[in-house]
Chain A
Amino acid sequence: MDASTAFAPPAGGGRNLHRFANPGRFLRASGRVLPWLAAAGLLLTGIGLLWGLFFAPADWQQGDAVRIMYIHVPAAWLASGGYFALALASLASLVWRHPLADLAAAEIGPVGAAATALCLGTGSLWGKPMWGAWWVWDARLTSVLVLFFLYLGHIALVRAFDDPQRGARAGSILALVGVVNLPIIKFSVDWWNTLHQPATITLTGAPTMYVGMLWPLLFSALGFSFGFAALVVARMRAAVMERRIRALLSARARAEAA
């Protein structure tokens, strides 16, 4: 038995999408991309964080505590962005039954949960000196905590079934239902009177942040994004190999039994 049968695309449409369902093709493509993603992530994150820590000015109100922002804000963007990617992978899994989409969703979950934990942790470390409290039940903080629980629920659900297909399906449904939380996170600071400050960087307007702070933040955010992608691709490569190992071993066991 060929190991690639574990990734056989279903009959019907979506042939282009399933081109990358071939494990060999995915391993070759991802093997070429991964070193560049990892190097870009390391370099840009290093530049952004060193710039933010040692060369960017302190804030006139927050003092040096503003330097926590160079970790907190990229982690917050990745927490939401990662969940959006998880939902897209879940949609591809449910609609096209793409086998790599299942793997992508399963591997994005823990990395996204870590980004969310980092966002919550650094937010707490910023909140104590600025607000005088480690935690407040503010709409923004609470909705991000809900996001963290959604990630944890997804991680638990995809691993809760003996049949990985059923786990992936249940996880996909949870991921798609949880998408409703993303606009709540984004607009929580506008819809409710929150202690958390409103957005200083938007897609439509000019940033209300000093440019000497904006550049290191953008470097850091870009570096975090490349690092996130590198981690997900590395974990997906490992998952593809592990699935192939299982397929080969079970094929070998069947051949010996016959």
Chain B
Amino acid sequence: MNHLPYIVASYALFLAIAGGFTAAAWVRLGRARRRLAAIDPRGSR
């Protein structure tokens, strides 16, 4: 496969951005759910 470093860098960039945003959304959602459940158990449903 020619131009391999450029291809690997492109896929790595995609994985870093998509993975980072997914992890951040997951953590934020979990934290909000836990806080809401602690304050208002009805609200987290």
Binding site for B on A (CB under 8 A): 3, 24, 27-28, 45, 49, 53, 58, 63-65, 67-68, 71-72, 75, 110-111, 114, 117-118, 121-122, 125-126, 128-129, 227, 231, 234-235, 237-238, 241-242, 244-245, 248-249
Contact = CB atoms under 8 A, between A and B. Distances in A.
Contacts of A28: 45
Nearest to A129: B3
B7 A67 contact: yes
B45 to A, nearest CB: 7
Most central of A27, A234, A238 by chain B CB within 10 Å: A238
A3 B43 contact: yes
A201 to B, nearest CB: 20
B17 to A, nearest CB: 5
A57 to B, nearest CB: 12
Contact of A122 (B13, B28, B35, B44): B13
B1 A241 contact: no
Interface of B: 1-4, 6-7, 9-11, 13-14, 17-18, 21-22, 25-26, 28-29, 31-33, 35-36, 39-40, 43-45
B34 to A, nearest CB: 10
12 contacts: A24-B43, A49-B14, A64-B2, A118-B14, A121-B10, A121-B13, A122-B13, A235-B28, A238-B31, A241-B36, A245-B35, A249-B39
A248 B35 CA distance: 11
A68 B4 CA distance: 10
B1 A64 contact: yes
* Interface SS majority for chain B: helix
Given A67-B10, A122-B14, A235-B28, 4 more contacts: A49-B11, A64-B1, A65-B7, A121-B10
* Interface SS majority for chain A: helix
Given A237-B29, A241-B32, A248-B39, A64 B10 contact: no
Contact of A71 (B14, B31, B35, B39): B14
B40 to A, nearest CB: 6
Contacts of B26: 234
Given A244-B40, A245-B36, A27 B45 contact: yes
Most central of B1, B2, B39, B43 by chain A CB within 10 Å: B43
Contacts of B36: 241, 244-245
A244 to B, nearest CB: 6
A27 B44 CA distance: 8
